Chains A and B, each alone.
Chain A
Amino acid sequence: MSANGSSSNHSGEINPIPWMTWLVGVLVMLSITRNFLYLCLIVLCLNMICVILSKQTNAMGGLISPFRLTVMITLMASVFNMLTSHAGETRLATIPGNLPYLSGAITLEALVYGCTNGMVLSGLFLSFYIIHLVLPTRAFLQLVPRAYHSLAVIAAIAITYIPSTMQQFHQIREAQTIRGHRLRRVSDWLPLLMPLLLSGLERALQLAEAMTARGFASQEQPSSPVVARLALVIGLVITILGLLPRIFPTSMMWVGESAFYIFKKSNWLLVAGGLIFASSLWFQGSHIRRPRYQGYTWSIRDWDCILAIGLPLSIFALHASGQYHASLFYNPYPLFQIPVFDNLTGISLLGLLGILVNTSRDVP
């Protein structure tokens, strides 16, 4: 379950916004760079944060320790890529024969690429896991845009009722045992499942009654104007258009000159599509009243966080256009070489750890 390590002072909860900013920053960094040295550093930082936070918050451990998971994913990705992708020039070995995917050279480049992919994936996973360790569920649900308020309530209910469902399951198991039930075949699961389901349905009814008694609105909301709904779809369509040039570069040939123009602007199309979509959602959500009970106060620590993530991010952004372009967009193909590693960038990545500053007040 998510950690309850929030501060006990009156200013309230952990402010989720700097954390979400941090998350977005990490995600952006992960998606931009392919330089495995940088990635290594990022992933190591994330692992360290994970370990420190787990100790601090005493959260329910995941099923596998994050570090092992990282290694597993990276390994899997590299092996997979090695076996299936046969480009590159530094051959390590060769799989003979005519197997559909597998035969061909096993190259170092493929290994490196696979490794990189794996690290990106584990980085993604770790960053979400860190957020999970820190933020209580309620903070998540408050961040949900108002348009999805009903879903947030459903998710909240589900999360609230999971512990009692598990408890009920144990009770049911015992109750069935005392009437002679033994778990021998698959069909013996039915007496365990049915009371659970039936109790669940009955409880849902009671909960609905309690919610109604507390004033939860049960009328249908006024149907949204057609324009807003159309806008959603249009936003989606535009986004897809923005993606098409990336996918069919060759088939753009026959569309002509104007196609090239669109192609160059495809990035903008993506963003535009997303914006239209988002604004339509916002508009449609705006007539759902949801007064915010919890206001967040910003402390100096929160600002430190933003700084901590802003620094590496901005350096990255600079590099994207500047002289160190190559170090970010490193590509192991066709020939493997050690990527360029800019010391400054590397050190700035350590700024990721800055997020730990925000958590030190959680120590009980």
Chain B
Amino acid sequence: MGGLLALLAPFLSRLHGGKPENQAANADFSPFHLLYLLGLCLLLLLWEMQRQNRDPKMLALLGVLVAINSTLRFMDIAIPIPGGFSPIFFLIILTGYVYGAEFGFLMGALTLLVSALITGGVGPWLPGQMMTAGWVGMSAPLCHILVKRMKLSGSVVERILLAGFSGLWGLVFGAIMNLWTWPFFIAPSGMSMDVEGGWRSLIASYALFYLTTSLVWDLSRSAGNMLLIWMFGAPVLRALHRLKLRFQFEILTSGALVDDPIYNGSETTGVKSNVS
């Protein structure tokens, strides 16, 4: 329940981020306010996502996967591939797809946090990155619902769907990140753009801005994502599914995770495991 509200609020904050030009010159809205709001939203989401989990299997799995993802990110820095290509989204999407929304969100947010902690590259862009990457993971199970309805598990269409999904996010991620880092670069006062303009002109100007600056960057990210999922998605998904049994997760629609059996207290009868 709280999760739904938490979902809405960050959207608002995103729009606010696009608003700075709409102010008069004496307004005091600064990027720091945005950061504050963003921070709160992020904290809320993080809280919601980890609320139900203290199972060591979950924590260990997330920990190790985040470690792998962060290592991938370093390799991305070491190997110069042009553009915004980042191999981290691949795992974020797939794990979110297989293990649920909460897992996906935490995977995304924590990958960025841990890699920032390791390299010392913590900056004002971090909360935004964490949140958006978290959304990527959180929304991946949506594909799952679609696939299940149409009973397409294991087929090529599944791969296409996931690949397309990742491609879309490649672009959207860039768009959202721009929205958030933009206020840091642009003076809130002194923009000669449409100070009294309405919503529409604002979005138009933003679209132009996006096209001219970061589209190319984001296209490479998008293409990279799609490529990765297309090529590697199937075996990785198989591996994740296989291990899912061992971790005995059960995906319910709200992403709750169920732990394994509990001894029923009797001394001589057996304990049945509830393998899903």
| Residues of chain A having any CB pair with chain B under 8 Å | 1-2, 31, 62-63, 76-77, 80-81, 84-88, 100-101, 104, 109-110, 113-114, 117, 120-121, 124-125, 128-129, 131-133, 137, 140, 147-148, 150-151, 153-162, 165-166, 169, 186-187, 189-190, 193-194, 196-198, 200-205, 207-208, 211-212, 216-221, 223-224, 229-230, 232-233, 235-237, 239-240, 243, 246-250, 270, 273-274, 277, 281, 284, 331, 333
Among B32, B57, B190, B209, the residue within 8 A (CB) of A87 is B190
Chain A residues lying within 8 Å of B54, measured Cβ to Cβ, are 150, 217-221
Contacts of B106 in A (CB 8 A): 151, 154
Contact B117 A159 (CB under 8 A): yes
Nearest-neighbor residue (CB-CB) of A211 within chain B: B56
Show 14 residue pairs from A and B whose CB-CB distance is below 8 angstroms, ordered by the A residue: A101-B208, A101-B209, A128-B120, A148-B47, A150-B50, A151-B110, A154-B106, A165-B68, A187-B231, A207-B64, A216-B56, A220-B55, A221-B54, A333-B190
Contact status of A124 and B50, CB under 8 A, knowing A85-B190, A208-B56, A233-B44: no
Q: Knowing A158-B66, A239-B36, A249-B24, say if A62 contacts B119 (CB, 8 Å).
A: yes
> Is B274 close to A, CB under 8 A?
no
Cα(A169)–Cα(B71), bound, Å:
9
Known A-B contacts A117-B187, A121-B184; A62 and B121 likewise in contact (beta carbons under 8 Å): yes
- Name the residue of chain B whose CB is nearest to the CB of A229: B2
- Given A196, A236, A237, which contacts B68 in the complex, CB threshold below 8 Å? A196
Once the chains bind, are B61 and A63 in contact (CB under 8 Å)? no
Contact of B64 (CB < 8 Å), options: A2, A132, A204, A333: A204
Which of A201, A203, A249 contacts B239 (CB under 8 A)? A201
A154 to B64, CA, bound (A): 8
| B185-A117 in contact (CB<8A) | yes
Establish whether residues A277 and B122, one from each chain, have CB atoms under 8 Å apart when the complex forms: no
Cβ contact within 8 Å between B44 and A154: no
Q: Is B63 an interface residue (CB 8 A)?
A: yes
The verdict on B236 contacting chain A, using a C-beta distance below 8 Å, is: yes
A-binding residues in B (CB < 8 A): 1-2, 5-6, 9, 12-13, 16, 19, 22-25, 27-30, 32-33, 36-37, 40-41, 43-44, 46-47, 50-57, 59-68, 70-71, 74, 77, 106, 110, 113-114, 117-124, 184-187, 189-192, 196, 205, 208-209, 212, 227, 231-232, 235-236, 239-240, 243, 246-247, 259
Q: A144 → chain B, closest Cβ, in Å? A: 11
With a cutoff of 8 Å between Cβ atoms, the chain B residues found around residue A128 in the complex are: 120, 122-123
What residues of B have a CB within 8 angstroms of the CB of A113 in the complex? 187, 190
Q: Hey, which chain A residues are within 8 Å of B196, CB to CB? A: 250
Give the CA-CA distance A204 to B52 in the complex, in Å: 19
A151 lies within 8 A of B50 (CB): yes
**Chain B residue with Cβ nearest A247:** B19
Beta-carbon nearest neighbor of B262 in chain A = A219
For A208, list chain B residues within 8 Å (CB).
56-57, 59-61
Contact B37 A243 (CB under 8 A): yes
Q: Which of B37, B47, B55, B227 contacts A232 (CB 8 A)?
A: B47
- Shortest beta-carbon distance, B126 to chain A, in Å? 9
A6 vs chain B, min Cβ distance (A): 17
- The reply to whether B189 and A158 form a contact with Cβ atoms under 8 Å apart is no
**Contact, CB under 8 Å: A153 / B59:** yes
- Answer whether A236 and B9 are a contact pair too, CB < 8 Å, given A85-B192, A194-B236: yes
